[in-house]
Each structure stands twice: as structure tokens, then as C-alpha cells.
Amino acid sequence: MQTGLGGRRITAAVLVTLLMLVLLVVPSVLLGDSLASGARRVVDSFQRGELQIPPPPVSVAGWPLIGEPLAKAWTLASENLEEALRQASPLLKGFGRWLLSANPSGRFLEPSSQLSGNL
């Protein structure tokens, strides 16, 4: 690349760096957007009472170590989501506390305030 740019080493280094950043940032942004929109759809379905969880494939129970407990929890969630969430609530609360402790300000994703400069 340096030869193609007339021997300009710094320009070549800057272009390679920018290319690498684009190759990392663009897929990361697309993945983040996809995860966020998927999470919104799940939350909306849950709030409307329309969330359907299919039963696990039979093969899940055969997975080493986690297969049987995972299959039981998944089956319960597919049959009675409210009960599954009730049973999982201690775990979910602990995870929520851990997640909040990771960001003591309590401010996670506030794009409107970040974009407007109201931090």
C-alpha cells in the first residue's frame, strides 16, 4: 500500500488503521442494533402477554452437564412462563444487582442525552 501511495508511509498506516476500525466498528454497531431491536420485540410481546416459548428439542436433555436442568427449565418456560419466571426470580434479581453494581450511576443507554450533550 505504501508503494501505491508514492512511498507515504504515514498515509498508508493511517488508511490501514481506518480500514481496520471500520471492519470492527460497523459489524459491532449492526450487532448491537440487532440485539437491541430483538430485545424490544421480546419485551413488547411479553408485555402484551403474547410471548410464546417453544419447547426444547429432545437433544437438549442429552447435553453434558447442563442438558437435563436446562431442558427442565426450558420446558417449564414453554408451558408456564409465569411460574418459570417466579422460580428464576432469585437468579434474575441477583443478576440485576450485579449488573447495576457494574454501573453505579444507574445510567445505561441514554442515547438522546448523549447526542444532545446533556450528560
- pLDDT, tens only, 41-58: 989 998 898 889 999 999
d(CA 85, CA 103): 25
113 vs 40 pLDDT, higher one: 40
d(CA 5, CA 12): 7
By the 10 Å C-beta count (0-12 exposed, 13-18 middle, 19+ buried), 44 is classed as: exposed
22 is a domain residue: yes
pTM of the model: 0.53
Question: Is 57 found in the same domain as 14?
Answer: no
* Whether the Cβ atoms of residue 57 and residue 70 lie closer than 8 Å to each other: no
Question: Is 58 found in the same domain as 41?
Answer: no
Measure the CA angle with vertex 47, ends 45 and 51; round to 5°.
Answer: 35
User: What total number of domains does the chain contain?
Assistant: 2
